[in-house]
Every structure is written in C-alpha cells, then in structure tokens.
C-alpha cells in the first residue's frame, strides 16, 4: 500500500468579486474553498515540529490571497490559481482544490455550483 499523507483545509469562506457577469463583479458574493494537499508529513509526524512544513495557515493564506486580492471570471481559474500558489510555495505531490459558489443565479435552487481540480507539480 502506498503512503499518502493529506493536509486538509475545508470550508474556507471568502467574500469576493469574481464572476462571468458584471453584477457578480460589482456586488460580490461568498465563495467556499476546500483544499487537500498530498505531501510528505513524516517529519512533522515524528518530531511534532512544523519547521519547513506546509501548514493549515499557509494553505489558508494562499487561498485567501487568490480569492480576495485577484479577480477572475470563472471558478475554474480561481481553483487553478490556488493550486499554482500552493505548488510554487511548497513541495507537494498533488493538490485538489474545490471552489464553490453558494449563491449562484441559474434559474433554480441548488446548494452550490463550483468545480474541483487536481493538479501535480510538473517537475516530479
């Protein structure tokens, strides 16, 4: 069985102005982001030390930066940018990013719309 350590940060909520339509960019809306990062956490597990390790705070800060300081038309691009930031800042095996829009106007009632992407660093 292959070892897979996952760092999880789920349900991060941000108010931001992303969207395909002008009203979304003008008024803003809530976005919910989940991130799963496959990374070797052996050192932290054995030493109880976060030195040099990817932490929950790192993931939150990178996601917050993308969602609140950048503007995009699609949730797919937001997810890609979050994955890019995490992979650029830390050595990881894989990143799954889910971006949800709970208040989407699609002519019906839904819990949310959104996307999930899985990315791996190119230099593995």
**For the whole prediction, is pTM greater than 0.85?**
yes
Contact 25, 8 (CB under 8 A): no
Query: Of these residues, 10, 93, 100, 101, which one is catalytic?
Result: 101
What domains can you pick out in the chain, each with its CATH number? Answer: 6-119 (3.30.1130.10)
Strand order in the sheet with 6-16: 6-16, 29-38, 94-101, 113-119
Give backbone dihedrals phi and psi of 86, rounded to 5 degrees, phi first: -65, -45
pLDDT tens track for 61-105: 999 999 999 999 999 999 999 999 999 999 999 999 999 999 887
Q: List, in order, residues 6 or more apart from 97 with CB less than 8 Å away.
A: 33, 34, 35, 63, 79, 80, 82, 83, 116, 117, 119
Confidence of residue 111 (pLDDT cuts 50, 70, 90): very high
Q: Using 50, 70 and 90 to split pLDDT, how confident is the model at 39? A: very high
For the chain, the 3-state helix, strand and coil shares in percent, each to the nearest 5, are 35, 30, 40
**Is 101 tagged catalytic?**
yes
Q: Is the confidence at residue 124, as pLDDT, over 60?
A: no
């Amino acid at each position: 069985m292959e070892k897979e350590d996952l760092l999880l940060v789920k349900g991060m909520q941000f108010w931001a102005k992303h969207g395909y339509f002008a009203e979304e960019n003008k008024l803003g809306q809530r976005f919910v982001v989940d991130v799963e990062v496959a990374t070797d956490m052996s050192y932290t597990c054995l030493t109880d030390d976060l030195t040099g390790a990817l932490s929950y705070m790192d993931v939150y800060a990178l996601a917050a930066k993308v969602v609140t300081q950048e503007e995009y038309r699609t949730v797919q691009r937001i997810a890609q940018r979050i994955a890019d930031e995490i992979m650029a800042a830390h050595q990881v095996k894989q990143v799954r990013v889910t971006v949800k829009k709970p208040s989407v106007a699609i002519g019906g009632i839904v819990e949310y719309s959104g996307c999930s992407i899985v990315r791996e660093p190119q230099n593995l």
